[in-house]
Amino acid sequence: EVVIDRGLVEWLTPEEIEQRSKRQGIRFDDQVAVVTGAGQGLGRLYALELAKRGAKVVVNDLGGARDGSGQGSSTPADKVVEEIKALGGEAVASYDSVSTPEGGEAIIDKAVEAFGRVDILINNAGILRDKSLTKMEASEWDAVMSVHLDGAYNVTRPAYIKMRENGYGRIIVTTSAAGLYGNFGQTNYSAAKMALVGFMNSLKLEGEKNGIKINAIAPIAMTRLTEDILPPDLSEKLKPEFVTPLVMFLCSEQCPVTGSIYNAGMGYYNRAAIVTGPGVVLGDGQTIPTAEEIARNSKNIASLEGAAECYSITAALGDMLNAVGKPVLKT
């Protein structure tokens, strides 16, 4: 039997976390955090909370319109920096766009110039260009891809290089229920958001030996991005503040997980995962089964009873090798 590494997580009690941590509670003293798209909405709240808990923060925002159009403005990022300073915290603004490699480099350079290091990166910047597929122009596809997906590559790569030097890092990518489950009129956004899960899945493996953990958050909250999408009567319940505590935990030294996806909204927190069913082996491993045999066995092939997560491609391949080593199913 092939032994499969499922990336076991050591869950600790709150008391054990306290004991093991060098810090009391969740603190970010002496740490430097970069939050993209932090001029408003969720990113602003992450930046404020990180600063309240001791982090020095780079508040990045190009200050564009909801669809990413327009000249941009330094005002949203500057305002958040002022808010942090008023609370006695430390922060600098960055107005670069995440959507180019140069922009990503400039954001991380800003952190290093101002504060000397990078410990935390929250990839949060986002735009929307909703259209059903046939109405969606290539420009609308590209704009969404370049902010969400290219943006994560552009900023994470230089940040990761800095984190690796220190043997420590926490990275968040922002996915979405639209990508995880689907939403009408958002093929561009959903594709970008699910691509970030793939990005995380592989980067978690690269980060392991460098003390770098990467997790994905799927928020649901009333912001400029969602004010005409989410039901208005839920706006009180959908306070973006509810998302922040989970993100703080995932950014902390105490975070035990890497490569996980969490939903957060309205005070409800859960984990989403890609699971793989046990499946069936058809034939003797020599003869190729027919499409009709697949059809006859389709219910068993599709079954998720006893499904499990695979921590990496090696685990998935291990399951496959173990399965084909077992007695074959009569077709």
- At 67, give phi and psi (nearest 5°): -90, 10
C-beta of 4 vs 195, nearer to ligand NAD: 195
- Between 151-166 and 101-115, two packed helices, what is the crossing angle to 10 degrees? 30
Active-site residue flag, 189: yes
- As measured in angstroms, the least distance from the Cβ of 133 to ligand NAD is 19
- As measured in angstroms, the least distance from the Cβ of 268 to ligand NAD is 13
- As measured in angstroms, the least distance from the Cβ of 36 to ligand NAD is 5
Query: Cβ(205)–Cβ(186) under 8 Å?
Result: no
Helix (H, G, I), strand (E, B) or coil at 169: strand
C-beta of 215 vs 254, nearer to ligand NAD: 215
How far apart are the C-alpha atoms of 67 and 39, rounded to whole Å? 15
C-beta of 25 vs 232, nearer to ligand NAD: 232
Q: How many CA atoms lie within 13 A of 302 on its CB side?
A: 6
Long-range pairs for 8-17: beta carbons < 8 A, 24 or more residues apart: 9/256, 9/257, 10/256, 11/256, 12/254, 12/256, 17/254
C-beta of 32 vs 180, nearer to ligand NAD: 180
Q: Using CB under 6 A as the criterion, which residues of the chain lie in contact with ligand NAD when the complex forms?
A: 36-37, 39-43, 60-64, 66, 68, 76, 97-99, 124-127, 147, 174, 176, 218-221, 223-226
C-beta of 41 vs 207, nearer to ligand NAD: 41
- As measured in angstroms, the least distance from the Cβ of 76 to ligand NAD is 5
How far apart are the C-alpha atoms of 78 and 92, rounded to whole Å? 8
DSSP 59-81: EE-----TTS-S---SHHHHHHH
Query: Cβ(120)–Cβ(55) under 8 Å?
Result: yes
List C-alpha distances in Å: 79 to 32, 39, 40, 63, 130: 19, 7, 9, 11, 29
> CA dihedral in degrees (89, 240, 179, 172; nearest 10)?
20
Q: At a CB cut-off of 8 Å and minimum separation 6, what does 302 contact?
A: 277
- As measured in angstroms, the least distance from the Cβ of 63 to ligand NAD is 5
- As measured in angstroms, the least distance from the Cβ of 214 to ligand NAD is 15
* Catalytic, out of 46, 189, 262, 311: 189
C-beta of 120 vs 220, nearer to ligand NAD: 220
Provide the 10 A C-beta neighbour count for residue 318.
18
Active-site residue list: 189
